[in-house]
A and B are shown apart, each in its own frame.
Chain A
Amino acid sequence: MKIAVVKYNAGNVFSVIHALRRLGVEPLLTDSVEELQSADKVVFPGQGEASGAMRYLQEHGLDRIIPSLQQPVLGICIGQQLMCRHSEEGNVDCLNIFDVDVKRFIPARHEDKIPHMGWNSLQIEKPEGIFRNFKGGEFVYFVHSFYVPVSEHTAAATDYIHPFSAAMHKDNFYATQFHPEKSGEVGQRILRNFLEL
C-alpha cells in the first residue's frame, strides 16, 4: 500500500510519519503531483498558520490537485481547516472541499483558554469510516485556536466553549481537528481505520 504524506510548510510532520510507521506502513513524504495522484491514500497533515500554508499549496499547484484526488484523503488539524471554504486565520480562501468557514475561538468565560489544548472527548455523528467501531466518549488530543463549526459534514463533534467539528467526512475526504498521531491508542485506531478504508 502506497501512503503519501503531503509535504508543505506546515510544521512538524514527523509525528504523523512515526505514527504510520508504528502501524507498519512506510509513508512517502512528497509534494509531487504524480506521487500524490498515484498513492492509495493521502495524508494531509499540519500545524502552523493557514494563509502561509495556502500560499505554499498554490505555489506548488497543490491547491488544485488535493480537491481532485479520488482516493481516501485524511486532513489533520490545519489540514482539516485548509479543506474548508475560508479561514479567519489570515482571512484566506481555502480548498473548499467542505463548504464551511473556519472561525476563531472567542472565550466566553475565564476558564476558556485559547488555544484549546489537551484531551477532549468525541461525540460521534457518523460511526463509520475512520470512526468504525467507535461508541463516543473517546478522548483525543487537540491543539488549536481556530475551529470549524458543526455542519452536515461533521463526523464527530467536541464541546469546547461550544460544539465544533472535531472530525469531518464527505465522499473520499476525511479530516480531524485533533491529532490522531498524538492521541494514544484511540488515535491509533483512527489511523488504522483510515488505512483499512
Chain B
Amino acid sequence: MLAKRIIPCLDVKDGQTVKGTNFLQLRQAGDPIELGKIYSQQGADELVFLDITASHEGRKTFTDMVQKVAAEIDIPFTVGGGISELADVERMLSAGADKISINSAALRRPQLIDEITHRFGSQVCVVAIDAKEDENGWTCYLNGGRIPTERNLFEWAKEVNDRGAGEILFTSMNHDGVKQGFACNALHKLTSMLTIPVIASGGAGKMEDFRDVFTQGHADAALAASVFHFGQISIPQLKEYLKVENINVRI
C-alpha cells in the first residue's frame, strides 16, 4: 500500500531558509541543504523548496542550490516560486529537481499546466493553490496570498486536475501559521472529487493534526514547515505516532 507522505517545506530567500506566520514576518531557520539532508535522514518522504526571492540574482542563487540538493540528497524534491514559463521548468528540471510547483502563473494562464505536462509528464507538475474561506466560500489567491481572484477553490482544483497536473498542493490561508490543525473539511471535499493526489498544507501544530489530515481530510501527503524547523515535532517521532494510529507511513 502506498504510504502517506510527510513533507517538510523550506522557504528559501537569498540561500537561507525562512518561514512566515500567516505569510508575513519571516524568521531564520537555517541552511537549506543541511536542513534538507537532516530531514531526509530523519525519514522525510519528500522535500519542497520554495524560492521566495524576487530578484534576478536570487534566482541564480536558488538554481545553484537546486543543483547542490540534487547532488547531495537522495529523496525526491519539488521546487517552486517564480516559475512562470516552460523555460523556468526546464531550468529547474535540468538542475535536478524531480517536480516543480506553480501557483500564480497557473491562475493567470491555466494553459501552462497543459504545456508542462505535455512536455515533461504529469508527474513533474504540482499546482499549488492558496485559498481563504470567508462568507462567500473558498477563494483562490495570487502572489503568496496577497491578491484575491475570482476563482473558487473547488472549481479551480477540478480544472487543474482535468488539465493533467500530477498533484495539488492546497494551502488554507485561514489555517496557515495558526497551528490549530489542517483544513480537513475542505481537504475531504477535494480528495473526494479529484483523481490526483492532494498535499495538505497550513495548520500543523501537533501530531494529532497529521493523523486527522489523513483520517478525516484523506490527504495523500501533509506538508509543514515551522513545526519541523523549530523542533516542535520531530519526523521520526511523528511517524512512529502515525504508525500506532494505523496510518501507513514509511519507517
Contacts and interface: CB of A to CB of B under 8 A. Distances in A.
A15 B220 contact: no
Interface in B69-127: 70-72, 74-76, 93-94, 96, 98, 121-123
A52 interface: no
What does DSSP make chain B's interface, helix, strand, loop or mixed? loop
- How many chain B residues sit at the interface, stated as a range, is 20 to 34
Interface string B1-20: 11101000000000000000
Given A117-B166, A141-B76, A12 B123 contact: no
Given A139-B250, A159-B1, A182 B74 contact: yes
B70 A18 contact: yes
Contacts, number: 72
Contacts of A18: 70-72, 96
B40 interface: yes
B74 A118 contact: no
Given A15-B70, A118-B45, A184 B75 contact: yes
A12 B45 contact: no
Contacts of A184: 40, 74-75
B196 interface: yes
A18 B76 CA distance: 13
Given A47-B121, A113-B197, A139-B250, 11 more contacts: A12-B93, A113-B195, A115-B166, A119-B2, A120-B2, A120-B3, A121-B1, A141-B75, A160-B2, A182-B75, A184-B75
